[in-house]
Amino acid sequence: SNINNLTKCKNDIIELSHFYLFNIQLNNKHDMMDWSQNTINQYYDYCLKQYVIPKLDFDTHTLELIGPKDAVLEAEKHFYELTTETLKQARIHAVSRGVIWSFEIIPNSDTWEQYSFKLNGLIEDAYLKKLSHVDFINDKQEKYQVVISKMEEHHETNIRRIRRKVVDSLLPDTWESSDQNCKRVLLQQSSKEYQDVLQKFNTTMNNQYTQIIKIERIQNERWYKQVQ
């Protein structure tokens, strides 16, 4: 009958899929606990485009991959690549804490601008490894070279001074890194710092005002140290 033929066809397809599908399970992969949600999403997208089903279990630290053999092996390789990159970024972030690298905006102006957080980490990592220089490409796809041995930044024929500043660990944890002695920072209403300031303000000023427009933190490194 048609029903029997349909059932047989279905079973044949399932059996054929089992024959061609490849399955591997990676155990004790504790490193994936350091993955961000963005990295997880990126890996899922990669696997699905390769027709691989990934099953990440963060409780047992296991990863199961199901799909065509070659695609599964590529997904396994990509897993290790992402894990290596995550560990590399974690190390860069760790070594760059408390250090600010900046470049001089105009030669001999003594006016400085700090590098992005990512570049700050890359330069500090190279500095600790005692490398002579580190290359990078900016958002405009322009090639730059930071020559650590000369404390200079090179771009084509242009040369700018760079400097390394160690941030004082005695400063409050809530302060943002800055290459300036004084800086104004707008507090977010959802932050604990904003709520603490608001509570203390209301202790003496409750019902004495109609609206709080904003609360800012004034970071003055020199003044702060003087009163400690």
CATH of the domain at 153: 3.30.720.50
Tell me whether residue 172 is in a domain: no
CA torsion 39→43→46→47, rounded to 10°?
-170
- Domain stops at, among 79, 94, 109: 94
Three-state SS at 167: coil
- Res. 20: pLDDT tops 80: no
Q: Provide the pLDDT confidence category of residue 17 given band limits of 50, 70 and 90.
A: low
Q: Do both 128 and 82 map to the same domain?
A: no
Three-state SS at 216: strand
CB 215 within 8 A of CB 194: yes
Specify the pLDDT at position 170: 65
- Domain stops at, among 94, 122, 149: 94
Q: Do both 187 and 130 map to the same domain?
A: no
Share of the chain above pLDDT 90, in %: 23
Read off the pLDDT of each residue in 169-194 and give the average, rounded to a whole number.
77
CB 179 within 8 A of CB 167: no
CB 163 within 8 A of CB 152: no
How many folded domains does the chain comprise? 3
- Domain stops at, among 138, 166, 194: 166
Output DSSP code: residue 168: P
Q: Does pTM top 0.75 for this prediction? A: no
Express each pLDDT in 154-164 by its tens digit. 999 999 999 98
Q: Do both 125 and 202 map to the same domain?
A: no
Tell me whether residue 61 is in a domain: yes
Burial class (CB in 10 A: 0-12, 13-18, 19+), 78: middle
Express each pLDDT in 45-81 by its tens digit. 999 898 888 988 888 888 999 888 888 899 999 998 8
Quick one: which of 218, 219, 111, 225 has its CA closest to 161?
111
Residues 75, 77, 81, 84, CA torsion sign = positive
d(CA 97, CA 176): 11
Where in the sequence is the domain holding 110, given as residue range(s)?
97-166
Q: Do both 61 and 117 map to the same domain?
A: no
Q: Provide the pLDDT confidence category of residue 95 given band limits of 50, 70 and 90.
A: low
Q: Do both 199 and 131 map to the same domain?
A: no
Tell me whether residue 127 is in a domain: yes
CATH of the domain at 49: 3.30.1370.10
pLDDT, averaged across the chain:
82
- Res. 201: pLDDT tops 90: yes
d(CA 165, CA 177): 11
